[in-house]
Structure 1
Amino acid sequence: MKKTPLALLVFALLAASGVQAQSTPSDDSDAANNGGWSGSGEFGFASARGNSRSENLNAKLGLSQENELWKNNFFLNGLRSKGEVTVEDAAGNTINRFSTTANRYDGGASVGYKLDPRSYIVSAVRYEHDDFGANLWQGTVSLGYGYIALKNQRTELSFEIGPGYKRYRPANELQDVGGVTVPVRQDTVGEGVARGLVNYKYRLTDNTAFEDTLLLEAGSKNKYYQNDAGLSVSMTKKMALKLGFQVRYNSDTQPGTKSTDTLTTTNLVYNF
């Protein structure tokens, strides 16, 4: 059941990419009319019932501005999933329970002041909360330098790098206390980090685009990497279908917790 919606979306993406859309996404002239602002919202939901039960919901909101002086970005993301998990009750019996298996939200912003058409000074902030991740929460602030290496109607490539400061609280550690497994709260950690960002966009056709964003926050105690790749196909000037794949890595994890998380999404996108 889980593979069917993904296969249908991939088929739709490939089919649409071979056909010229009657209406293409908003062009640069639209953004120029409102100070360089543009944005998009994504939403995806899947529900399964029958032999198994599951619910998956994810949503994203992004805003960006670029003009002669500024290169700014703002984002807000949310993910929540429920599914059947096997647990052991107080009597030692194994039972299936429909419970939350993912609950994560994150948001952030970057404000860049252009020194010339290609280079800019950028300050960035990011916060994330994840009930099932390597860290319960993490927040980073940074100041750095950005450079637009390439930008034309088809391709865009930019880099950002600079120092920052990060605070995070590792996930609770499970310990055996008197024969009972209990979660033990971990201390909050703070450290200086090096922040890097690589953003690549490529328009394959008039209505098909690929985008990849790599974020790095590396410190002596914890190294965090996140890569977001997405392929979108415009159906109209405002609406698009998008297939996304995200990889997140934390080097500092508790025993029994994996360092790498992946997320595949199939979303409907509204551009504004």
Structure 2
Amino acid sequence: MKKAPLAFLMLVAFAASAVHAQSTPSDDSSSAGSGGWNGSGELGFASSRGNSRSENLNAKLGLTQENELWKNNFFLNGLRSRGEVTVVDSNGNTLNRFSTTANRYDGGASVGYKLDPRSYIVGAARYEHDDFGANRWQGTVSLGYGYIALKNRRTELSFELGPGYKRYRPADELQDVGGVTVPVRQASVGEGVARGLVNYKYRLTDNTAFEDTLLAEAGSKNKYYQNDAGLSVSMTKKMALKLGFQVRYNSDTQPGTKSTDTLTTTNLVYNF
């Protein structure tokens, strides 16, 4: 847990450099007022299936910037739930208790400097903490190349690829000590990884849009993949409803822990 504040301070500093980038002069009059920045916040109900099964609340915050020189991104997400769980006490009695069943938060930022209208150099950082996941925490930094393959009024497709470094601590391992099952803290692990990101956006109608983002952080010891798909329907210029589906895969898990988690969300979105 001591590593979490440090990781978030690094992310804030990383994001601050992205915000500073908007002060760079640009001839694009359409982004003159905001430096090309826009954002959205989400809040809603979620149903998760995998290492945890619960009904819960989730919140998301995202900021993006794109102009002639920069393509930047910053995000914060949180998921927490409490629900009924079945436990067995020391006397062998089965009890139902109300307990935390999901507790996860993550944040990240990327700063992209454009070489031309389509290609850019990108530095990225991401940190995640999950009390019920395959890894208790994981953090990744990377430097790579990005390419905007397609961008028009209706469709956008971009790719990012490059080397990075990942450090993580696997979830506690349950061991039998004197006839009692106790959690044993695992040592943190570090390794080089290849980071890849594919982002696709498609506007079906004037008020309906689909977005899919695939993230891969693959190393020799651990491979992590995450796909986020979302369908949003605008009610007003600022407000929208969004249905999201997330799949997360971790190749290295402790016995009794699943490699794949899914998360389904129905959120109210505010765009700014």
Alignment partner of 1:233 is 2:233: yes
CA contact (8 A) 2:163 2:193 kept: yes
Separation in 1, partners of 2:92, 2:196: 48
CA contact (8 A) 1:31 1:38 kept: no
CA contact (8 A) 2:108 2:126 kept: yes
Unmatched 5+ residue regions in structure 2? 1-27, 48-53
Alignment partner of 1:201 is 2:201: yes
CA contact (8 A) 2:46 2:266 kept: no
Residue in structure 1 matched with residue 252 of structure 2 by the alignment: 252
1:58-207 equivalences in 2 (<5 Å): 58-207=58-207
Separation in 1, partners of 2:78, 2:228: 14
Partner secondary structure for residue 206 of structure 1: coil
Partner secondary structure for residue 199 of structure 2: strand
CA contact (8 A) 1:102 1:131 kept: yes
How many percent of aligned residue pairs carry the same amino acid?
Answer: 91
String of CA shifts for 1:92-131, please: whole Å, max 9, x gaps: 1100011011000000000000000000000000000000
Deviation at 1:75, TM superposition (A): 0.1
TM-score, length-scaled by structure 2 = 0.86
State the Cα RMSD in Å: 1.5
Separation in 2, partners of 1:31, 1:246: 31
Residue in structure 2 matched with residue 270 of structure 1 by the alignment: 270
Partner secondary structure for residue 248 of structure 1: strand
Matched residue count: 239
Partner secondary structure for residue 186 of structure 2: coil
Deviation at 1:32, TM superposition (A): 5.0
Unmatched 5+ residue regions in structure 1? 1-27, 48-53
Deviation at 1:236, TM superposition (A): 0.1
Deviation at 1:89, TM superposition (A): 1.1
Moved over 4 A (4+): 28-32
Counterpart residue identity of residue 62, structure 1:
G
Partner secondary structure for residue 182 of structure 2: strand
TM-score, length-scaled by structure 1 = 0.86
Deviation at 1:55, TM superposition (A): 5.0
